[in-house]
A and B are shown apart, each in its own frame.
Chain A
Amino acid sequence: MPHLSEDVISRARALVALYPKPRSALIPICHLAQEQDGWLRPEAIEEIADIVGVTPAEVLGTASFYDLLHTEPVGKYVISLCTNVACMLSGAYELLEHSEKTLKIRAGGTTSDGMFTLEEAECIADCNNAPCIQVNGRYFGKLSKSDFDKLVEDLRNGNLDDVVPPHGTLCRIRRAVGLEAVNGTAARPAQRSRRGRKK
Chain B
Amino acid sequence: MTVTEAPKIVTSRIEFDDSNTIERFLATGGYDGLRKALSMTPEEVASEVNAASLLGRGGAGFPAGRKWSMLRKADTTYLVVNGDESEPATFKDHLLLERDPHQLIEGVVIAAYAIQAAQVFIFIRGEMALGIERVTQALNEAYEYGAVGHNILGSSFSVDVVVHPGAGAYICGEETALLESLEGKRGFPRIKPPYFPAAVGLYGEPTVVNNVETMSNLPWIIKNGGAAFAALGVGSSTGTRLFALSGRVNNPGVFELEMAKTTFRDLIFDKSLGNGIKDGKALKAFIPGGVSAPWFGPDQVDMHLDQDEVGKAGSMLGSGSVIVMDETTCVLRTAWRITRFFWRESCGQCTPCREGGGWLEKVLWRLENGEGREEEIDMLMDVCDNLAPGVSWPPQQTTICVLGSSIPSSIASAIRMFRDELLIHVKEGRCPFD
Contact = CB atoms under 8 A, between A and B. Distances in A.
B160 A188 contact: yes
Nearest to B151: A189
Interface string B219-256: 00000000000000000000000001111100011100
Contact of A178 (B42, B90, B143, B185): B143
B209 interface: no
Interface string B126-155: 111110110011011001100011100001
Interface stretch (A2-10, A81-89, A106-114): A81-89
Contacts of A130: 246, 252
Contact of B325 (A26, A89, A181): A89
A128 B41 contact: no
A30 B167 contact: yes
Q: Bin the interface of chain A by size.
A: 35 or more
A95 to B, nearest CB: 15
Given A85-B323, A124-B127, A189 B150 contact: yes
A173 B144 contact: no
A189 B158 contact: yes
Contacts of B76: 190-193
A193 B140 contact: no
A28 interface: yes
Nearest to A30: B167
Interface centre among B85, B149, B334 (most CB of A within 10 A): B149
B338 interface: yes
Interface in A110-144: 122-128, 130, 134, 136-139
B128 A65 contact: no
Interface centre among B77, B166, B246 (most CB of A within 10 A): B246
Interface stretch (B11-19, B176-184, B387-395): B176-184
A30 B185 CA distance: 12
B88 A86 contact: yes
A198 B74 CA distance: 16
Given A68-B127, A68-B167, A123-B86, A89 B181 contact: no
**Chain A contact surface mostly:** loop
Contacts of A67: 167-169
Contacts of A85: 88-89, 247, 291, 323, 334, 337-338, 341
A177 interface: yes
Given A83-B337, A128-B245, 18 more contacts: A20-B203, A68-B127, A68-B166, A86-B252, A88-B333, A88-B337, A89-B329, A89-B334, A122-B345, A123-B341, A126-B91, A127-B89, A127-B244, A134-B127, A170-B132, A178-B148, A194-B75, A198-B157
27 contacts: A19-B162, A21-B183, A21-B184, A24-B164, A24-B182, A25-B184, A31-B167, A61-B186, A66-B167, A66-B168, A68-B166, A85-B89, A85-B323, A89-B323, A89-B329, A89-B334, A123-B341, A125-B125, A127-B321, A170-B165, A172-B133, A173-B136, A174-B136, A190-B160, A192-B118, A193-B75, A194-B74
Which 8 pairs across A and B sit closest by C-beta, in order of nearness? Answer: A67-B168, A177-B143, A137-B129, A26-B184, A66-B167, A23-B184, A68-B168, A86-B246
Interface of A: 18-21, 23-28, 30-31, 52, 54, 61-63, 65-69, 80, 83-86, 88-89, 122-128, 130, 134, 136-139, 170-178, 181-182, 187-194, 197-199
